Amino acid sequence: MKRSFIYFFLPAFICFLVLGCVSSEPASEPPPPPEDAIYRNPSYTVGQRVADLLSYMTLEEKIGQMTQVAKNFLSSPNDIKTYCLGSVLSGGGMGPVKNEPGAWADMYDHYQSVALESRLGIPILYGIDAVHGHNTVKGAVIFPHNIGLGCTGNPALVEKAAQITAIEVAATGIDWTFAPCIAVPRDERWGRTYEGFGETPGLAEIMAEASIRGYQGESLEDGKTILACPKHFLADGGTKGGDDQGNAECSEEILRKIHLPGYISALKAGSGSVMASFSSWNGKKMHGNKDLLTGLLKNELGFPGILVSDWKAIDQLPGDYTSDVTISINAGLDMIMVPDDYKTFITTLLTAVKNGKVPRERIDDAVKRILTIKFKLGLFEQPYTDRSLLPLVGCEEHREAGRECVRQSLVLLKNKNNVLPLSKETGHILVAGRGADDIGMQCGGWTISWQGMTGDITEGTTILEAIQKTVSSKTKVTYSRDGSGAGKADIGIVVIGENPYAEMEGDRQSLALSTMDINVINNVKKTGIPIIVILISGRPLIVTPEIDKWDAFIAAWLPGTEGQGIADVLFGDYNPTGKLSHTWPADMKQIPINEGDNDYDPLFPFGFGLSY
């Protein structure tokens, strides 16, 4: 019987031992380090502290540090401690129940307190897509999206916007923004066109550097700065057909000439992290491209920071999940935005390391990078929210900076008979169109929620409200969504454009104006009064069939919450200075069209813009 027992149950016992070794459930913990451990003492260098902390860490704790989880997918906040998670993020719309700055700070501090209860007391990095202001938080200032900032040609202003964003993000405790996007969009059909500064590498270069300086300041340890994350490495703006997460088909020469310069600039400015792209280069997914992630970014360019994945992006690699994890980590990714089934990720990577598929040296390198940033941010000494910053969220000074960004981002494309600027004493102004009184449409995607939404979604000034505030008390301002009732007006201002969208949802094969918008314009125009068209959009749209009917035309892009900047231009308080960051195509047959193309014959060329 004894022999029979062993015969039948020994295999199962061995299996139990093996599975126990690779379980995501943590093994019995070693004793905590001494209170006088080097890593706890800020008088030592960051390098010394990192080396000391690494020496105490188990493999499970190291892999936990490489794991980033979206807050809504945490089985319990206690899992931050249990698995020694390195990072938590709020995806689009993932915030506290009450969306206000103080509640965000409470949420952050709670998660951080759990992390500090772990054996080693390693704080988490908290990430968010603050891509045009602290755009998920109600009441924060929402700046123009990057396409508009590119039109300002003013890196100092871009730096200021990033600096203000950093302050408002830090006020809610959060340490890390997944910005700036320094894509070079080469095809306006791409739904993320508005996230890039423009179609040329030169714009990406100067604005990337400015953004990094704004977010990170002189020192990451400064409580008013946050970690930047230029994205998406590499060539996300060069995919065929403008296909989001698609394939960039180009030579290495073009890759380096068009899509790389912005990253070189960002690294020179000291960016502490970089995000890899969903997209592929000549058929190979970027998240598995070791030649580019490690060979180019880390080795050739000497990037010392954290290379983080995009949302669940490793799942798109060919093969099963074990293969996805193994290939992506070996390719050079340091932290994986899982973002949901973190227990499976941890188990899978732990198994891969123990099976020799991922070298322990690769794990140590990744964790060293992560810990280095955490020490540089001062999280071990100041892990909690500085609540003295909370009154600055959405403050008047910040809104004035947003207003200035709007002023400088507007591009005046047509001004027949100098109809602009308008007199503040004009007798009757009709304001029409669905974009005239819609803060959500002004802000576009990545605002409060992932895709954004129309309507009164946050605090701000709509274009209609701005006009009403600007004109003389004797001027009559009426609003008509459909353009009716224009007969008695002296002039019509029609605000048209795109509904909010982000990423994949924004890909379009036709960039024509909507029938609804054309009808509004026609309703106003048929009365015979002069008409000014303001276009709210994330890219140039095809206006050639209609523009001859318009007396003036302003590309306002996605200006954000400070619509007063548009009224400043309309009424001459600011002389327009914006220049096109994208070539404006005459028709869809020209797309893709970019400066320097053969047979370059656009409606408006790159860099075009009128003044008064």
**CA-to-CA dists, residue 189 to 21, 263, 313, angstroms:** 49, 24, 22
Percent of the chain past pLDDT 70, that is, above it, reads 95
> Is the domain of 303 the same as that of 412?
no
In the chain, count of helices (H) and strands (E)? 19, 16
**Region 7-15 average pLDDT:** 36
Kindly state whether residue 269 falls inside one of the protein's structural domains.
yes
In a domain, 557, yes or no: yes
Enclosing domain of residue 470: 395-590
In DSSP terms, 37 is beta-bridged to none
Other C-beta atoms lying within 10 Å of the C-beta of residue 456: 11
Residue 454 and residue 374 share a domain: no
**Helical pair 342-354 and 321-331, crossing angle rounded to 10 deg:** 70
Least confident segment among 10-24, 78-92, 102-116, 465-479: 10-24
Co-location of 399 and 258 in the same domain: no
Q: Is residue 606 part of a domain?
A: no
User: Is the distance from CB of 593 to CB of 204 less than 8 angstroms?
Assistant: no
**Catalytic-labelled residue, pool 175, 244, 310, 551:** 310
Q: Is the peptide bond before 180 cis (omega within 30 degrees of 0)?
A: yes
> Looking at the structure, do residues 557 and 509 belong to the same domain, yes or no?
yes
Same domain, 217 and 77: yes
Confidence of residue 27 (pLDDT cuts 50, 70, 90): very low
Dump pLDDT digits (tens) for 119-176: 999 999 999 999 999 999 999 999 999 999 999 999 999 999 999 999 999 999 999 9
User: Does residue 404 share a domain with residue 371?
Assistant: no
Non-local (6+) Cβ contacts of 544 within 8 A are: 586, 587, 603
Q: Are residues 260 and 408 in the same domain?
A: no
pLDDT band at 28 (very low <50, low <70, confident <90, very high): low
Q: Is residue 335 part of a domain?
A: yes
pLDDT beyond 50 at 584: yes
Query: pLDDT-based confidence at 23, cuts 50/70/90?
Result: very low
| Residue 523 token pair | 């309703």
Q: Where residue 481 sits, what CATH number does that domain have?
A: 3.40.50.1700
Residue 461 contacts residue 501 (beta carbons within 8 Å): no
Domain contains 23: no
In this structure, the answer to whether residues 96 and 199 fall within a common structural domain is: yes
160 and 305 share one domain: yes
Same domain, residue pair 159 and 265 = yes
pLDDT at residue 487 in the model: 82
In a domain, 483, yes or no: yes
pLDDT of 25 strictly over 70: no
Pairwise CA distance, residues 163 & 157, whole Å: 10
d(CA 360, CA 369): 14
Asked whether 95 and 87 are in contact (CB, 8 A), the reply is no
pLDDT in tens, 409-431: 999 999 999 999 999 999 999 99
Q: 169 lies in a domain?
A: yes
- What's the pLDDT at 239? 98
Tell whether the model's pLDDT for residue 19 goes beyond 70: no
Q: Per DSSP, what are the bridge partners of residue 491?
A: 429
Cβ neighbors of 347 (< 8 A, separation 6 or more) are 22, 23, 24
Cα separations in angstroms, 247 against 213, 327, 328:
31, 19, 18
pLDDT at 29 over 80: no
Is 310 a catalytic site residue? yes
- 37 lies in a domain? no
Spell out the SS3 assignment of 166-229: HHHHHCCCCCEECCCECCCCCCCCCCCHHHCCCCCHHHHHHHHHHHHHHHHCCCCCCCCCCECC
Percent of the chain with pLDDT over 90: 94
The pLDDT value given to residue 9: 35
In this structure, the answer to whether residues 115 and 247 fall within a common structural domain is yes
Over residues 378-407, the mean pLDDT reads 98
| Two structure tokens written together for 583 | 């070539």
Matching residue, tokens 């408002």: 168
- 354-391 pLDDT tens trace: 999 999 999 999 999 999 999 999 999 999 999 999 99
Structure tokens at 35: 């209170």
Same structural domain, 191 and 111: yes
Alpha carbon distance 525, 533 (integer Å): 11
CB 192, CB 181: distance < 8 Å: yes
The CATH number that applies at residue 209 is 3.20.20.300
Instruction: Count how many domains the chain has.
Output: 2
Residue where one domain finishes, among candidates 349, 383, 417:
383
pTM over 0.85: yes
For 293-321, the pLDDT digits (tens) are: 999 999 999 999 999 999 999 999 999 99
- Is residue 288 within 8 Å of residue 327, measured between CB atoms? yes
Task: Give Cα 105 distance to the centre of its chain.
Answer: 20
